[in-house]
């Protein structure tokens, strides 16, 4: 038997292909949105995995250090290390900023950590870990930095000694690791003019600069102009200890908030990106509806243009299943072309996005299934219209 769908499509293949490609762009956008969501989730997880912490200790009653500001003294680590079950702990400071390098501005998340303690970049893809106390950094590949590059950050120049992959902030910015002291200085350092003015104000204040006690001014300045705050302390537990129990101890005795790794994941993924996820979900739903409407309208209008021929086919005895099959096959073909074009498009343009777009095989398969179901459902309007055509309409004016 002649394939009516194949012949019909072959007859107007250019228009059919163009419609399929148009649908493909829409499917590509849909897949991209799903990829953006996956990227956000993966970014949140990447940070947690790199940290490799069992507990995140932050300022009391905060969701820090990413969802809310958190500031604790870097001396609290001693108390934390004294809690039974704590094997290792490391102070960390995070801040997002823009740095200029090679004439380009790059938005990064700086992570200050104490080398040899939790909070570092983990496995490197090139170079070496930070070994000096100052002015070295390890950067994620997406920063565009290379080993040996010198990157000016605030007052100092930092040398890139190592490169890591897949280390991004929950906002998708590539991470740059540097010694904690440097991060603290960057985070809290005032500019020279502000320091000068503050110092003058202190010198002019007889309470802080009494003639009989010249050492007092120096002590006050040291307190005011140096920084010993961090955003969090990352904790690794000794084997056999429950994260929940150790977290409860820290909360109770140190008056800090401690989150287990799972709780921090919930904060990062469940809360921090929840609104964005809902936004994307709604957008995906709208795109799906628009795709369905486009396929339905296309197939419906394709059917409408050949109602007379369908009437003749019915009149000469063509069974309904052949006519319906033609319409359904054309619709599915449109979906297949659209899906293929969409998949190719998203594969091509995903790396061009500034933020991380993750194309998951499962999402692709779901998109294929949804596309085919949409095409099947959308073809029903065309099938219904074709089956309602009376063969009598082929006879007479």
User: Backbone phi, then psi, for 16, in 5-degree steps?
Assistant: -65, -45
Assigned token pair, 329: 């096959």
Sequence-ordered list of residues with C-beta below 8 angstroms from that of 305, at least 6 positions apart, any chain: none
With CB under 8 A as the contact rule, the residue among 81, 344, 369, 395 that binds another protein is: 395
Give the side-chain half-sphere CA count within 13 A for 125.
Answer: 11
Site for another protein in 256-315 (CB under 8 A): 306, 308-309, 311-315
Q: Going by DSSP bridges, is the β-strand pair 229-230/72-73 parallel, antiparallel, or unpaired? A: antiparallel
Sequence-ordered list of residues with C-beta below 8 angstroms from that of 85, at least 6 positions apart, any chain: 237, 238, 241, 242, 245, 246, 249
* Spatial distance between the Cα atoms of 223 and 23, rounded to a whole number of angstroms: 64
Q: What angle do CA 384, 324, 311 make, to 5 degrees?
A: 75
Cβ atoms of residues 132 and 179 within 8 Å:
yes
Interaction of residue 7 with another protein, rule CB under 8 A: yes
With CB under 8 A as the contact rule, the residue among 301, 319, 377, 384 that binds another protein is: 319
Q: Which is nearer to another protein, 308 or 384 (CB)?
A: 308
Q: Which is nearer to another protein, 8 or 173 (CB)?
A: 8
Cβ atoms of residues 53 and 234 within 8 Å:
yes
Per-residue string for binding with another protein, 322-351, x by CB under 8 A?
x-----------------------------
Span of 48-56, 252-260, 337-345, 388-396 interacting with another protein by CB under 8 A: 388-396
Q: Could you give the maximum distance between any two Cα atoms of the chain, in Å?
A: 119
Distances (CA, A) of 214 to 197, 198, 200: 19, 17, 15
Span of 1-9, 82-90, 197-205, 370-378 interacting with another protein by CB under 8 A: 1-9
Q: Which is nearer to another protein, 195 or 315 (CB)?
A: 315
Report the nearest approach of another protein to the CB of residue 322 (Å): 8
Which phi-psi region, left, alpha or beta, contains residue 154 (left: φ > 0; alpha: ψ -120 to 50)?
left
Report the nearest approach of another protein to the CB of residue 290 (Å): 29
Q: Which is nearer to another protein, 67 or 322 (CB)?
A: 322
Q: Which is nearer to another protein, 273 or 313 (CB)?
A: 313
Q: Which is nearer to another protein, 279 or 390 (CB)?
A: 390
Distances (CA, A) of 36 to 48, 74, 117, 264, 305: 19, 36, 32, 21, 40
Span of 8-16, 26-34, 140-148, 290-298 interacting with another protein by CB under 8 A: 8-16
Report the nearest approach of another protein to the CB of residue 282 (Å): 41
Interaction of residue 317 with another protein, rule CB under 8 A: yes
Cβ atoms of residues 251 and 76 within 8 Å:
no
Report the nearest approach of another protein to the CB of residue 294 (Å): 22
Interaction of residue 129 with another protein, rule CB under 8 A: no
Q: Which is nearer to another protein, 171 or 318 (CB)?
A: 318
Report the nearest approach of another protein to the CB of residue 11 (Å): 4
With CB under 8 A as the contact rule, the residue among 22, 129, 325, 391 that binds another protein is: 391
Q: What angle do CA 10, 13, 15 make, to 5 degrees?
A: 150
Count residues binding another protein (CB under 8 A). Answer: 28
Site for another protein in 181-200 (CB under 8 A): none
- Positions touching another protein (CB under 8 A) are 1-2, 4, 7-8, 10-12, 306, 308-309, 311-319, 322, 390-392, 394-397
């Amino acid at each position: 038997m002649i394939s009516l769908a194949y012949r019909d499509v072959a007859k107007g293949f250019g228009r059919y292909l163009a419609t399929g490609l148009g649908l493909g762009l829409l499917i590509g956008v849909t897949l991209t949105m799903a990829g953006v969501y996956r990227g956000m989730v993966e970014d949140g997880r990447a940070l947690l995995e790199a940290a490799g912490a069992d507990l995140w200790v932050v300022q009391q009653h905060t969701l820090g250090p990413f969802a809310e500001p958190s500031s604790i003294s870097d001396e609290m680590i001693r108390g934390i290390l004294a809690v039974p079950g704590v094997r290792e702990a490391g102070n960390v400071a995070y801040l997002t900023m823009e740095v200029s390098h090679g004439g380009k501005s790059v938005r990064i998340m700086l992570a200050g950590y104490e080398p040899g303690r939790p909070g570092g970049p983990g496995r490197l893809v090139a170079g070496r870990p930070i070994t000096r106390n100052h002015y070295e950094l390890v950067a994620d590949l997406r920063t565009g930095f290379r080993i040996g590059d010198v990157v000016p950050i605030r007052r100092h120049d930092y040398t890139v000694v190592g490169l890591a992959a897949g280390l991004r902030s929950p906002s998708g910015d590539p991470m740059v690791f540097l010694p904690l002291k440097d991060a603290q200085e960057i985070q809290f350092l005032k500019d020279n003019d502000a320091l000068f003015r503050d110092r003058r104000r202190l010198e002019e204040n007889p309470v802080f600069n009494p003639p009989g006690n010249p050492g007092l001014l120096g002590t006050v300045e040291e307190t005011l102009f140096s920084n010993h705050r961090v955003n969090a302390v990352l904790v690794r537990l000794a084997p056999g200890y429950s994260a929940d129990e150790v977290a409860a101890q820290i909360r109770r005795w140190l008056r800090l908030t401690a989150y287990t790794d799972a709780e921090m994941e919930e904060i990062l993924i469940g809360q921090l990106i929840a609104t964005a996820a809902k936004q994307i979900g709604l957008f995906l739903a709208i795109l799906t509806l628009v795709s369905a409407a486009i396929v339905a309208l296309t197939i419906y209008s394709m059917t409408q243009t050949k109602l007379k021929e369908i009437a003749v086919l019915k009149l000469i005895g063509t069974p309904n299943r052949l006519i319906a099959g033609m319409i359904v096959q054309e619709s599915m073909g449109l979906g297949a072309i659209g899906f293929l074009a969409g998949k190719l498009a998203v594969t091509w343009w995903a790396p061009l996005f500034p933020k991380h777009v993750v194309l998951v095989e499962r999402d692709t398969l779901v998109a294929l299934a949804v596309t085919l179901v949409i095409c099947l459902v959308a073809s029903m309007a065309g099938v219904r219209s074709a089956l309602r055509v009376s063969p009598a309409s082929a006879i007479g004016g």
